[in-house]
Structure 1
Amino acid sequence: MVLNSNSKGTAVRKASKAGAGGRTARVWQWPLWLAVAAGPAQAQDAQALPAVTVSGEGVASDAATLGKLPLALREIPQSVTVIGLERMQEQNLQSLDEVMQHATGITVQPYQLLTTAYYSRGFKVDSFEQDGVPVLMGNMAAAPQDMAVYERVEILRGANGLLHGAGNPAATVNLVRKRPQRAFEFSGTASAGSWDRYRAEADLGGPLNDSGSVRGRIVGAYEDRGYFYDVADQQSALFYGIGEVDLSPRTVLSAGLQHQRIRSTTNMAGVPRYKDGGDIGLPRSTYLDAAWDRFNWNTTRVFADLEHGFGQGWTAKISANYLTADSNLKYAGAYGAIDRETGLGSRLMGGAYKFDNTQASIDAYVSGPVQWFGRRHELLLGGNAQRTTSEQYTGMLIPALNVPVDVFDWDPRGVPEPGVGPYASPGETRLKQQGIYAMGRFSLADPLTLVLGGRMSWWNQSAPSARQRIDPEFTPYGGLIVDMDSQWSLYGSYAQVFQPQSQLTRDGKPLDPVTGTNYEAGVKGALADGALNVSLAVFQIRQKNRAQQDPDWPCVGNNCYYISGGEVRSRGFEAEASGQVAPHWTVAAGYTFNTSKYVSDSVSNGQPYASFTPKHIFRLWTNYALPVMERRLSVGGGVQMQSGFSTVSGPVTLRQGGYTLVDLRMAYRLDKHLTAALNVNNLFDRRYYQSLSGTAWNNRYGEPRNVMLTLRAQY
């Protein structure tokens, strides 16, 4: 859910003069299948694309369209969290990783190479969008996302196959880019913090002609930082530019470019454990790689949108994205579990790689109202397609680095940098996915709304070793919403998604796709005229048709045959409250309980499925402007509590107990343009592992106590 986002400069779209003086409203851009509004105020004819801004005044039931039709949270029959610009600024959330660490129900697993995986309801999140268009993220070639570009982050938990086609029943993460405004606005920040972290941002936008029919916005950011572990550092530079043109009162064309470059000294090894799984107790500053490690990214995204209002409430939009990304990695790190008696067992291993990716995405839809049987309903028809190419090149380090490592006395600068042999690639992998979808939101009675939809997907992958085709796959969706009154609603929903499998049957054919089905029911409320949103949901996910080894055909070496029939079940409930609880006081709180297990599996039947995700996760953030000094002084604080988790590594189990983290913030508004803020994270310096991978390496400490001082200017 959303904290107030009433900071200046959060206008998302002002596409016509008619809307420039309209009342402000908080709106959201949802995945296509959710994007049908039911408010009676939307029955009016759309003579021009109306103005939409994001503010702290609550959810407006009469909010007009922004890309896809806006919905109040309680009109959506699934769990949704939105983290807006103001909260990102308050908590100093500079990357998508940091945003996800504070989102309800999300587990963040830091991996090697500064890459990260997100988990929701026990499953890995693999569905990402920018402005509602599916995009490639989390790939080795794609740089981590810098939040300077984005207005807000929307997270829909559970299956979302109606929009994406293939994926896991985890969550969809939609990053909404900043857009130009009709009024001139500028903001800039300068930050300095622990471990030599320095950052600067600038954001400038406004009209480019007298009428405001041509608008532009540019954003730049640069960061130079170290980490709490020794040696590693990172320099990142970001540029973002977007322009909008009103081709007519009903038509808006926008186009932009986003480029990010990162140069980093990475940390592949993390820290190992004892062979029995015990914690060695190495300092959190331990760095077991070579000082010449590097991992560098270059990512460029180009995008364009064309939106047209036909009148009578009907709207069409076509969006296109193109990504090109490359990265290169060279590393050497300690690998191997440690013997308690001798302190030995780790050796230096390394490698060199290059990664190249491209992705082209297109999304088009038309939506609008119809009158059937004396009642107003909403329809949405559309389609999208993605084409992705990826290639990995491998080079050998010369000479070999298989030498013993003393993890208790390691000098990262004592390893000479080796040369790299010729790079080789097995070939390019190509993935194509197309889909058409239809959805309707049907008003059965004044308090009752039925949502039905379906998608047909075509999926094709060509890899050096195999080809696979799924043609076609149908994905259904259903939801029911009961409005109890003007504030409260009950809902239930059924959502599905599929995921292709590469394992082969004894006949040499790929298994049928895994299907993930999300069942959810709950209650939602929009209180205080929409300023405070609350929700409670129960859910169950069943992922069926998972691969299992064929019992009639034993494996020969690494060659195995498989059958379908495996099943995983995830259950739980979530509670969330977010918004303005009183004047000048905002709160965002979320609690998740989740368990998952193998329901049917030839090896792990009855065992926990995602033991590395905690059963209990509670997250709270609050901020209050004190009633002194003309409310120039504000204080904020956050709590993150979670239960323990574990990871199986061979014959042993690695465990991290539950822990609590406390964050604090204090900000002072120097004048109407300048604000200074101090953030303190992990106030009590809790020592904990954020992720556990195995006894050999890649176990990651969480950040120790750290501070960040920020000066923000806004005009």
Structure 2
Amino acid sequence: MFSKCSVALSILAAINPIFVYAHDKHDDIEIISVMGISKPIASNSSAMKMDMSQLETPGSISVYSKELIEAQRASSLGQVLRNDASVSVGNVRRNRERFYMRGFVLEPDQSYMRDGQYHLSRYAQPIELYERVEVLKGPSALLYGKSTPGGMINLVTKKAHDEMQFNLSQEYGSFGFNQSLLDAGGSLNESGSIRSRVILSKSSQDGWRRYKDGSYAGQERFVGALMLEADLSEDTTLSLNYDLTDDEGRIEMGPQHLKNKASGKFELAGKRDYIWDMPWSNRKSQVENSGFTFNSYLNDAWSINMGFNQQRHQRQTLESLYGKVQNVDLDKGTYSLRGRDTFERFDVTTAFFDLKGDFYTGDIHHRLLVGSSIVDYDRTGQQMKMAIAGRASFNDRHIIERPKELDYRNGAAMTHVQRHTYGLYAQDMIEFNDSWHLLAGLRFDREQTTHETRHNVLPKLGIIYHPTENTSIYSTYSESFEPKDPISNSDDVNYGKKLQAERGQSFEIGAKGEFLEGALYVSTALFSIEKNNKVVTDKRDDKPVTTQNGKALHNGVELTVEGKLTPSLSMLTSVMYLDAKIISDPLYTGKRAKDTPAFTASTWFNFDVTEQSQLSVGAVYVGERFGDTPNDFLKEAYVKVDLGYSHSVHFSNQHLAVFRVNIDNLFDTYYLRGGCSNSAMFSDGRAIKASLQYKF
């Protein structure tokens, strides 16, 4: 069971989202160290795949811990990433969150990792499974292969514990929100060499927007996970994992931004509480992940790490509207429907093997990483789409029923996509002395598809200078690549033409420091990212013409401040200024990138009112940005304020209860979130959540 010190520190972690702790046992004496900020000391599953502190890392990485996630009662990945000004929200339709990082889209099939492995993220991530979220900013292709130049997200899963732990929480909130969570585990034998953890979560919500029949766009989700871990020897550990996410809910496409014929200006069409879709629109998704990791220390200097994961994802999406809404008459308030029923199955197998070494050549210290990775991606599906007779209206409750013919089994098979990717990489952190370090790396990738075989070579170089023990200055050059399939639109002039990979080059300089005896961490970065070979489409004789003549340039500066200002006041602040421009495009040269504000900021303060009670306040500012690539529709800037309060009750040495109340969008601010090229999503109204958490 927990010692008194462990319980006391657990309370501290529960009531302060910025505090984290680490403990090690030595000679039967438990040594506990407390740090004022959450600084990632990378493990095998962490972003850099090496034991590197923030000051040693030549790049920008933000880490959001489970303490922060619990304090903010985040129930989605988007609610965690709102703490990061470098990340902006994209399309949230179909219950899939899309994001931009440094102005570039985070693609669901190449911008996410799970425990350092490629992870297909075509579903809403179950945040209750994750210990922390790591945000890697800038190209990360060296270690992980194909990726967008903006960065990547690494989701670090919770692990089994050797000490018995039990965590039960119940939460209720506005708009029918309800979540029950059980998180329990511990040693399965007397020695503690075999450990387990079980997570079960059931949640549902109605939402606040309604269909024409008065029903809500609700959703339900079940998450179940089992983690097993065994010490095969003093130096070798085997971990097994399985999790299931079953998600079902309705669909809404959001309001449309359309051109008003009378004024010639683009405006938002649709009421804030009105859903364009018919109430029979829905989606079902089931995702299974199963795999293992194997970690072994060969000696004091060398270790091997390997892992395997199999993901199976099935989903069906039934839509009454897709793409741009057709035949809209704003004066009469009517529009046409287009139905689409899609079934997809994804099978993704990933594996990696890393060899890590720590050695000297003369007086020069090396931390070497040599590894390989495999990704086997397979997608199949079937789709039926059709125009639906009749016209819907904003002004009545008439529902156009689903046609019987609208069934994916009546449609044609979708393009079968197979990709086999093999990667080899090497990275060396070279420490010439206490002040000067150099990180150099090279990656070779081979991707084989049904169309062709492609090869990519990517370098990375980073220089770190430590003026003092608690500060560092760095400069980094890195590259990214995004393979593209041949042009599949049969109407395109260049139909069937093979495309090269889109490539990104990034230059970044930055400075980091730990102040107030390590309690406060400050980081700033200046970056320039250029993306070449962009796939763009023009028109010739009313026919689309796709080429790779596009180019984009994103320049920006970021600032992060995290830690304790006083013994009772903690903060987490992130700020970014971004100039994201399209440099070359047949239609949009000189335009600003979609959904990328010039200025964003996020801050979160936590104040210890008493030893048991904490008050938190957070604010997010998002500057004005365009909702479409032609820059015809401008979304206004907004400030959203959140509030939180928690109180802890310690019953005994082993039992703890935490009561929390969180208010999201305290002042009920109206704003527009991300959307598709022709749509946006309305902000949620003020929402109150109350939760009771019991631990021992």
TM-score calculated relative to the size of structure 2? 0.88
Cα offset, 1:597, TM superposition: 1.3
**Counterpart contact for 1:13–1:180, Cα < 8 Å:** no
> Residue 52 of structure 2 aligns with which residue?
71
Is residue 114 from structure 1 mapped to residue 95 from structure 2 by the alignment? yes
- Using the TM superposition, name which of 535-544 and 520-529 deviates more: 520-529
Is residue 616 from structure 1 mapped to residue 602 from structure 2 by the alignment? no
Change in Cα spacing, 1:19 to 1:571, as seen in structure 2 (3 Å) is farther
> Residue 636 of structure 2 aligns with which residue?
657
Cα offset, 1:442, TM superposition: 0.7
- State the alpha-carbon separation in 2 of the partners of residues 713 and 146 from structure 1: 21
Of 420, 439, 448, which aligns to 2:406?
A: 420
- State the alpha-carbon separation in 2 of the partners of residues 271 and 545 from structure 1: 31
Q: Secondary structure at the match of 1:116?
A: coil
1:190-589 to 2 correspondence within 5 Å? 190-230=170-210, 231-271=216-256, 273=258, 275=260, 276-280=264-268, 282-333=270-321, 335-336=325-326, 338-340=328-330, 342-396=331-385, 401-411=388-398, 415=401, 418-421=404-407, 422-462=410-450, 467-470=451-454, 472-502=455-485, 509-547=497-535, 555=540, 558=543, 560=545, 562=547, 564-589=548-573
- State the alpha-carbon separation in 2 of the partners of residues 387 and 252 from structure 1: 26
Cα offset, 1:475, TM superposition: 0.3
Of 78, 87, 90, which aligns to 2:71?
A: 90
Cα offset, 1:691, TM superposition: 2.4
Is residue 184 from structure 1 mapped to residue 164 from structure 2 by the alignment? yes
Q: Secondary structure at the match of 2:276?
A: coil
- State the alpha-carbon separation in 1 of the partners of residues 576 and 542 from structure 2: 42
What percent of counterpart residues are identical?
21
Flag structure 2 segments of 5+ consecutive residues without an equivalent: 1-10, 211-215, 488-492
> Residue 671 of structure 1 aligns with which residue?
650
Structure 2 counterpart of 1:215, which letter?
A: R
Structure 2 counterpart of 1:395, which letter?
A: M
Structure 1 counterpart of 2:591, which letter?
A: Q
- State the alpha-carbon separation in 1 of the partners of residues 462 and 27 from structure 2: 33
Is residue 708 from structure 1 mapped to residue 685 from structure 2 by the alignment? no
- State the alpha-carbon separation in 1 of the partners of residues 28 and 163 from structure 2: 10
Q: How many residues align?
A: 658
Write out per-residue CA displacement over residues 463-489 of structure 1, whole angstroms, 9 at most, x where no aligned residue: xxxx1321x210000001111112111
> Residue 6 of structure 1 aligns with which residue?
13
- State the alpha-carbon separation in 2 of the partners of residues 356 and 117 from structure 1: 20
Q: Secondary structure at the match of 2:529?
A: strand
- State the alpha-carbon separation in 2 of the partners of residues 170 and 177 from structure 1: 23
- State the alpha-carbon separation in 2 of the partners of residues 347 and 19 from structure 1: 74
- State the alpha-carbon separation in 1 of the partners of residues 12 and 86 from structure 2: 22
- State the alpha-carbon separation in 2 of the partners of residues 326 and 446 from structure 1: 52
Change in Cα spacing, 1:121 to 1:344, as seen in structure 2 (3 Å) is same
Cα offset, 1:152, TM superposition: 0.4
Change in Cα spacing, 1:690 to 1:529, as seen in structure 2 (3 Å) is same
Structure 2 counterpart of 1:86, which letter?
A: E
Write out per-residue CA displacement over residues 483-531 of structure 1, whole angstroms, 9 at most, x where no aligned residue: 1112111011011111123456979752332210111001101224433
Q: Secondary structure at the match of 2:55?
A: helix
Structure 1 counterpart of 2:93, which letter?
A: Q
- State the alpha-carbon separation in 1 of the partners of residues 20 and 562 from structure 2: 21
Cα offset, 1:315, TM superposition: 1.1
- State the alpha-carbon separation in 2 of the partners of residues 62 and 351 from structure 1: 47
Change in Cα spacing, 1:614 to 1:5, as seen in structure 2 (3 Å) is farther
- Using the TM superposition, name which of 285-294 and 271-280 deviates more: 271-280
Structure 1 counterpart of 2:81, which letter?
A: M
Flag structure 1 segments of 5+ consecutive residues without an equivalent: 26-54
- State the alpha-carbon separation in 2 of the partners of residues 540 and 419 from structure 1: 51
Of 118, 125, 135, which aligns to 1:134?
A: 118
- State the alpha-carbon separation in 2 of the partners of residues 390 and 514 from structure 1: 22
> Residue 127 of structure 2 aligns with which residue?
147
- State the alpha-carbon separation in 2 of the partners of residues 511 and 63 from structure 1: 37
Cα offset, 1:705, TM superposition: 0.9
- State the alpha-carbon separation in 2 of the partners of residues 507 and 634 from structure 1: 61
Cα offset, 1:102, TM superposition: 2.8
Cα offset, 1:669, TM superposition: 1.6
**Counterpart contact for 2:301–2:359, Cα < 8 Å:** no
Structure 2 counterpart of 1:596, which letter?
A: A
Cα offset, 1:687, TM superposition: 1.0
Structure 2 counterpart of 1:469, which letter?
A: T
Write out per-residue CA displacement over residues 87-110 of structure 1, whole angstroms, 9 at most, x where no aligned residue: 111111111122223323101113
- State the alpha-carbon separation in 1 of the partners of residues 43 and 146 from structure 2: 31
- State the alpha-carbon separation in 1 of the partners of residues 327 and 564 from structure 2: 50
Cα offset, 1:175, TM superposition: 0.5
- State the alpha-carbon separation in 1 of the partners of residues 28 and 86 from structure 2: 37
- Using the TM superposition, name which of 493-502 and 68-77 deviates more: 68-77
- State the alpha-carbon separation in 2 of the partners of residues 187 and 112 from structure 1: 32
> Residue 3 of structure 2 aligns with which residue?
none
Change in Cα spacing, 1:64 to 1:602, as seen in structure 2 (3 Å) is closer
Q: Secondary structure at the match of 1:144?
A: coil
Structure 1 counterpart of 2:406, which letter?
A: V
Cα offset, 1:77, TM superposition: 1.1
**Counterpart contact for 1:264–1:296, Cα < 8 Å:** yes
**Counterpart contact for 2:244–2:288, Cα < 8 Å:** yes
Change in Cα spacing, 1:708 to 1:274, as seen in structure 2 (3 Å) is farther
Change in Cα spacing, 1:224 to 1:207, as seen in structure 2 (3 Å) is same
Cα offset, 1:443, TM superposition: 1.1
**Counterpart contact for 2:115–2:155, Cα < 8 Å:** yes
Change in Cα spacing, 1:649 to 1:13, as seen in structure 2 (3 Å) is closer
**Counterpart contact for 1:114–1:267, Cα < 8 Å:** no
- Using the TM superposition, name which of 74-83 and 475-484 deviates more: 74-83
- State the alpha-carbon separation in 1 of the partners of residues 153 and 42 from structure 2: 22
Is residue 170 from structure 1 mapped to residue 153 from structure 2 by the alignment? no
Cα offset, 1:671, TM superposition: 3.3
**Counterpart contact for 1:104–1:619, Cα < 8 Å:** yes
Change in Cα spacing, 1:22 to 1:359, as seen in structure 2 (3 Å) is farther
Cα offset, 1:677, TM superposition: 1.0
Cα offset, 1:567, TM superposition: 2.0
**Counterpart contact for 1:268–1:331, Cα < 8 Å:** no
- Using the TM superposition, name which of 81-90 and 266-275 deviates more: 266-275
**Counterpart contact for 2:444–2:456, Cα < 8 Å:** yes
Of 660, 664, 675, which aligns to 1:681?
A: 664
**Counterpart contact for 1:59–1:531, Cα < 8 Å:** no
- State the alpha-carbon separation in 1 of the partners of residues 477 and 684 from structure 2: 39
**Counterpart contact for 1:119–1:125, Cα < 8 Å:** yes
Structure 2 counterpart of 1:218, which letter?
A: V
Change in Cα spacing, 1:7 to 1:295, as seen in structure 2 (3 Å) is same
Write out per-residue CA displacement over residues 596-654 of structure 1, whole angstroms, 9 at most, x where no aligned residue: 1122334333332x142111000011111113xxx22210010001110113477x811
